Chains A and B, each alone.
Chain A
């Protein structure tokens, strides 16, 4: 009986030759999270990267890029917060996260980061809506305030943005889920790379060719970082890398790599010349980023469900320590 093939309720009488488990049941529990969470990872990354782009665009006067990025950050952070809250067992108690600040809890840290970042990114994003407001509002006190707040808010959001994009890697890694935990050395780079690629991709999609240069560069750089970090990660994870290659997560990861590479190459080669190519590259990069998040997420869940990924590495570690 192969340990992989054993279903949850299947009867196992003879201990497996390679590793033993309790009726093939998981040792650790998979996170009780649904697609909301990888979506959140993606959207958070998108928002973070976009806020950086927006701040740069603001500083360098690239209006279309600024607008796209600020709005992207606004939408990204709003949806990601919705996803996050939706995934709580007791959504009404979201605010309980603000009771404490715990450095040992990436989720707590993340909450505070988001608390700092969210309103700023939101304010900056809403400021972009000013032109669309009815004249009376636009020119009233509120409108003027919005206009004035956009820039500092965007800058503050950009300050928090790198943390928004990277803390989620720790959020996953700081678990007993083998394929998340074992990824902890490279996952932050994968995630910031992915965030940069996604935000850059959005910039490519939304900004004018003229304004999109930094977005293109960020996208290509991010994509390269992501691909390189991913490669290293898979090398260093040992057995826990296996789920990244197999089944659904494997398909996500392969799609992610293909899309990211395609997007990067297209952006680099044609992105500066053709609006269509830039848009295509941008969409591919964003999709690639989303696939990365879903792939990593699902790989972790898979690694938690199969006791092999918990038992084998621990057993090897233990045997090595015991010298047997």
Chain B
């Protein structure tokens, strides 16, 4: 966190100064470790076992927060009889379909819930959460019934002992115990523990299950919805949270509404039913209002009840259109043209070669960036030109480079990890021809509309009718505030017609409101840009709700009803946040309640109540269909209801827990251009005996477009390097400040060697495992101040099935002293490794490895 979120890290330092204990768990001793109270070295790709060990510790030692767990989680719910745990199937849950490489999730359902896995999960569902009718769920509040979630969990984690943690993670039992003690001692009524993670946890084929692992811990310890608790996802680019809220993702619409699928929900009503079942509890029940308002915002008067609010104008997805699938499709000549706006996949995306070769198949490529990044110049100075795989004169791609304005050169909002929008005002005009994305798209849209103005084709109606009327300033820059206003939404009729909406609860399914993103409604309440508020901290209370604006409804902490006990009283004075004020008949506290404000703790829904009314006065997790925190996820995740330790796709280590080596539902691509190293104890795996991981340096930013072009940052970390332990350096003859070549089945790259005690060889299962650390900021090109080989050229493509994130935090490799060969000799080196390891397209790609 200190490395990548140094500004946010000031609050960790502040907390530490006030007595908080800071623990850092990372394969490398980083700048974060340097100031933490305790540092735990861990093998990359093994955290599920570590977290599972903590779960077991909590359960075995009765350290869980019993009142919280019983009242607020699904611990007492009974799981259906059909469910078989991975512990009993060698690492697979019931319902695994070997043909499809995926699960039929029906057996995971709660007992008595006729689970129709509505809409499925993962990208089929969007982030709306699975729908579920909870009215018949069976419970045992004593938690004794063997099929309670609680007991299921206990059995599931029974083998995650400290010894197992050591064998899998390389963490010695004493150190592991220290973490367990610290986490449990700092949880409960009086104290809370927070888990902070970022991409060290997500860039795995089981990334989602990493987070689930910590969610289980936090729920068991009562750390959710309470001040100082929670799971803090540190985000990436300044508004990466914003780019999921108002998504740049292919599978969701603004506000986490699912993107309709071609042929699947054919009608508007079918579509709505994938988001909510009419009788469902929780706020998703109002989805129709959100969708209709969105369509009204986009198509204005053209959107009527009669035409389903132009629902048919929405594009349909036909499968995975994620960035990696698209890159593969490029290689297969299925993609004609591509816009790259603020992205440098030639360097930043896994499997650099596949990215660059893919782009060389395009007819046209538009790159809008601050600098002439490698993705714009790969056709003349990329690594494949050097190896002879590409010849400039043979590449047909027409590349358009358009200079972009940086964030200081335009106004707009950033949404950070707390879901807080903060407005930034333009500081200077963009230089030269640089323009903002907003101006670019506004003009592009206008041009397209102009071109299609006379078209009579039905397929052109969505563009013809699209509302596209932002005000522009004297320089031609459209008003970003106008866009935010549109996102906020407004009344379209009635006496408030034209006025901004003040909360999403005002949205109507009858076309009388418009709003571009329901969760953002309120950011322009009272026609004031609430995101631009800058009231200093010392002038308000500690929650500081008048700084910026957080969605939804300016709520600073989600599920904060859980900060009070079931009766509405704070769990403790020390950790008081919200409480029920019986006199006033409402929830009070420093934050906006994440609850119906006047719903008393004692409220019990009448039979058949739907939507928000269906949630009881002690159901804090209001976005969940059953109002509870899920220790066990009966649906919604494609790879299992509970986390299981699997090895990464490529690992020099055999799964110590299960015959099933890696996640059986990971997304693999069996292609000649995407070969994998043999894993576990498969033949040839000894050719790649080391683990490597990739990460960031404070001094650089991601693929380097914003740092390698700046001398002030480049001089601080001028060269690509690898970090190895002294022991590892001895074993392989690597010299400090010398060169090393790192090899995988995809490529070989060279790096300067940094021998450092900060990398620790791990002892696990009687074996020493060496890890190589690689910052991934460098790329091969001629325009930057500094350049170097790209760590991403080492990776192939293997993805998490839920979110299609690449596994770029753990893989296997070999490392040798000296520089890599150049030109075609580089390809020969890689070929030699492949044949030595006996690699074919099948290698490492068998999903099910449990023998029947």
* Nearest-Cβ distance from residue B43 to partner chain A, whole angstroms: 24
| Contact status A9-B757, CB under 8 Å | no
Majority DSSP secondary structure for residues of B touching A:
loop
Rounded to whole angstroms, the CA-CA distance of A11 and B737 in the bound complex is 8
Query: Which A-chain residue is minimally distant from B757 (CB atoms)?
Result: A13
Any chain A CB within 8 A of the CB of B736?
A: yes
* Nearest-Cβ distance from residue B119 to partner chain A, whole angstroms: 56
Q: Mark A1-38, 1 if CB is under 8 A from B, else 0.
A: 00000000101010000000000000000000000000
Rounded to whole angstroms, the CA-CA distance of A13 and B754 in the bound complex is 12
Rounded to whole angstroms, the CA-CA distance of A9 and B737 in the bound complex is 9
Q: Mark B747-760, 1 if CB is under 8 A from A, else 0.
A: 00000000101000
- Contact residues in A for B736 (Cβ distance below 8 Å): 11
Query: Which B-chain residue is minimally distant from A14 (CB atoms)?
Result: B757
* Nearest-Cβ distance from residue A203 to partner chain B, whole angstroms: 56
* Nearest-Cβ distance from residue A196 to partner chain B, whole angstroms: 51
Query: Which A-chain residue is minimally distant from B736 (CB atoms)?
Result: A11
Could you say which interface size class chain B belongs to? under 10
Q: Which residues of chain B from 732 to 790 have any CB-CB distance to chain A below 8 Å in the complex?
A: 736-737, 755, 757
Rounded to whole angstroms, the CA-CA distance of A254 and B346 in the bound complex is 63
- Contact residues in A for B737 (Cβ distance below 8 Å): 9, 11
**How many A-B contacts if CB must be within 8 Å?**
6
Query: Which A-chain residue is minimally distant from B755 (CB atoms)?
Result: A11
- Contact residues in B for A9 (Cβ distance below 8 Å): 737
- Contact residues in B for A13 (Cβ distance below 8 Å): 726, 757
Query: Which B-chain residue is minimally distant from A9 (CB atoms)?
Result: B737
Rounded to whole angstroms, the CA-CA distance of A256 and B624 in the bound complex is 90
* Nearest-Cβ distance from residue B522 to partner chain A, whole angstroms: 54
Majority DSSP secondary structure for residues of A touching B:
loop
* Nearest-Cβ distance from residue B549 to partner chain A, whole angstroms: 47
- Contact residues in A for B755 (Cβ distance below 8 Å): 11
Q: Which residues of chain A from 174 to 214 have any CB-CB distance to chain B below 8 Å in the complex?
A: none
- Contact residues in B for A11 (Cβ distance below 8 Å): 736-737, 755
* Nearest-Cβ distance from residue B761 to partner chain A, whole angstroms: 16
Query: Which A-chain residue is minimally distant from B735 (CB atoms)?
Result: A11
- Contact residues in A for B757 (Cβ distance below 8 Å): 13
Query: Which B-chain residue is minimally distant from A13 (CB atoms)?
Result: B757
Rounded to whole angstroms, the CA-CA distance of A13 and B737 in the bound complex is 13
Rounded to whole angstroms, the CA-CA distance of A308 and B755 in the bound complex is 25
Q: Which residues of chain B from 697 to 739 have any CB-CB distance to chain A below 8 Å in the complex?
A: 726, 736-737
Q: Mark A86-121, 1 if CB is under 8 A from B, else 0.
A: 000000000000000000000000000000000000
Rounded to whole angstroms, the CA-CA distance of A302 and B206 in the bound complex is 58
Rounded to whole angstroms, the CA-CA distance of A44 and B737 in the bound complex is 46
* Nearest-Cβ distance from residue A15 to partner chain B, whole angstroms: 13
Query: Which B-chain residue is minimally distant from A11 (CB atoms)?
Result: B736
* Nearest-Cβ distance from residue A118 to partner chain B, whole angstroms: 44
Rounded to whole angstroms, the CA-CA distance of A191 and B736 in the bound complex is 46
Query: Which A-chain residue is minimally distant from B754 (CB atoms)?
Result: A11
Rounded to whole angstroms, the CA-CA distance of A11 and B736 in the bound complex is 7
Rounded to whole angstroms, the CA-CA distance of A11 and B757 in the bound complex is 12
Rounded to whole angstroms, the CA-CA distance of A13 and B755 in the bound complex is 10
Rounded to whole angstroms, the CA-CA distance of A9 and B719 in the bound complex is 15
Rounded to whole angstroms, the CA-CA distance of A303 and B107 in the bound complex is 78
* Nearest-Cβ distance from residue B365 to partner chain A, whole angstroms: 42
Rounded to whole angstroms, the CA-CA distance of A24 and B755 in the bound complex is 17
Rounded to whole angstroms, the CA-CA distance of A137 and B173 in the bound complex is 101
* Nearest-Cβ distance from residue B730 to partner chain A, whole angstroms: 13
Rounded to whole angstroms, the CA-CA distance of A13 and B844 in the bound complex is 40
Query: Which A-chain residue is minimally distant from B756 (CB atoms)?
Result: A13
- Contact residues in A for B726 (Cβ distance below 8 Å): 13
* Nearest-Cβ distance from residue A14 to partner chain B, whole angstroms: 10
* Nearest-Cβ distance from residue A191 to partner chain B, whole angstroms: 42
Rounded to whole angstroms, the CA-CA distance of A274 and B755 in the bound complex is 68
Rounded to whole angstroms, the CA-CA distance of A38 and B611 in the bound complex is 90
Rounded to whole angstroms, the CA-CA distance of A11 and B755 in the bound complex is 9
Q: Mark B449-492, 1 if CB is under 8 A from A, else 0.
A: 00000000000000000000000000000000000000000000
* Nearest-Cβ distance from residue B729 to partner chain A, whole angstroms: 11
* Nearest-Cβ distance from residue A12 to partner chain B, whole angstroms: 10
* Nearest-Cβ distance from residue B754 to partner chain A, whole angstroms: 9
Rounded to whole angstroms, the CA-CA distance of A16 and B726 in the bound complex is 18
* Nearest-Cβ distance from residue B622 to partner chain A, whole angstroms: 54
* Nearest-Cβ distance from residue B400 to partner chain A, whole angstroms: 44
Rounded to whole angstroms, the CA-CA distance of A23 and B115 in the bound complex is 65
Rounded to whole angstroms, the CA-CA distance of A13 and B757 in the bound complex is 8
Rounded to whole angstroms, the CA-CA distance of A9 and B755 in the bound complex is 14
* Nearest-Cβ distance from residue B737 to partner chain A, whole angstroms: 7
* Nearest-Cβ distance from residue A24 to partner chain B, whole angstroms: 14
Q: Mark B137-160, 1 if CB is under 8 A from A, else 0.
A: 000000000000000000000000
* Nearest-Cβ distance from residue B641 to partner chain A, whole angstroms: 47
* Nearest-Cβ distance from residue B728 to partner chain A, whole angstroms: 14
Rounded to whole angstroms, the CA-CA distance of A9 and B736 in the bound complex is 11
* Nearest-Cβ distance from residue A5 to partner chain B, whole angstroms: 15
Rounded to whole angstroms, the CA-CA distance of A80 and B757 in the bound complex is 53
* Nearest-Cβ distance from residue B727 to partner chain A, whole angstroms: 13
Rounded to whole angstroms, the CA-CA distance of A9 and B735 in the bound complex is 14
* Nearest-Cβ distance from residue B440 to partner chain A, whole angstroms: 46
Rounded to whole angstroms, the CA-CA distance of A222 and B366 in the bound complex is 81
* Nearest-Cβ distance from residue A324 to partner chain B, whole angstroms: 28
Q: Which residues of chain B from 578 to 597 have any CB-CB distance to chain A below 8 Å in the complex?
A: none
Rounded to whole angstroms, the CA-CA distance of A13 and B758 in the bound complex is 11
Rounded to whole angstroms, the CA-CA distance of A9 and B757 in the bound complex is 18
* Nearest-Cβ distance from residue A10 to partner chain B, whole angstroms: 8
* Nearest-Cβ distance from residue B726 to partner chain A, whole angstroms: 8
* Nearest-Cβ distance from residue B664 to partner chain A, whole angstroms: 44
Rounded to whole angstroms, the CA-CA distance of A192 and B213 in the bound complex is 81
Rounded to whole angstroms, the CA-CA distance of A156 and B726 in the bound complex is 69
* Nearest-Cβ distance from residue A22 to partner chain B, whole angstroms: 16
* Nearest-Cβ distance from residue B405 to partner chain A, whole angstroms: 40
* Nearest-Cβ distance from residue B721 to partner chain A, whole angstroms: 12
Rounded to whole angstroms, the CA-CA distance of A13 and B736 in the bound complex is 11
* Nearest-Cβ distance from residue B809 to partner chain A, whole angstroms: 27
* Nearest-Cβ distance from residue B245 to partner chain A, whole angstroms: 46
Q: Which residues of chain B from 595 to 614 have any CB-CB distance to chain A below 8 Å in the complex?
A: none
* Nearest-Cβ distance from residue B822 to partner chain A, whole angstroms: 26
* Nearest-Cβ distance from residue A13 to partner chain B, whole angstroms: 7
* Nearest-Cβ distance from residue A202 to partner chain B, whole angstroms: 51
Q: Which residues of chain B from 40 to 87 have any CB-CB distance to chain A below 8 Å in the complex?
A: none
Rounded to whole angstroms, the CA-CA distance of A62 and B736 in the bound complex is 69
Rounded to whole angstroms, the CA-CA distance of A11 and B726 in the bound complex is 12
Q: Mark A285-316, 1 if CB is under 8 A from B, else 0.
A: 00000000000000000000000000000000
Q: Mark A54-73, 1 if CB is under 8 A from B, else 0.
A: 00000000000000000000
Q: 6 A-B residue contacts at CB 8 Å?
A: A9-B737, A11-B736, A11-B737, A11-B755, A13-B726, A13-B757
Question: What are the 3 closest A-B residue pairs judged by CB atoms, nearest first?
Answer: A11-B736, A13-B757, A11-B737
Binding site for A on B (CB under 8 A): 726, 736-737, 755, 757
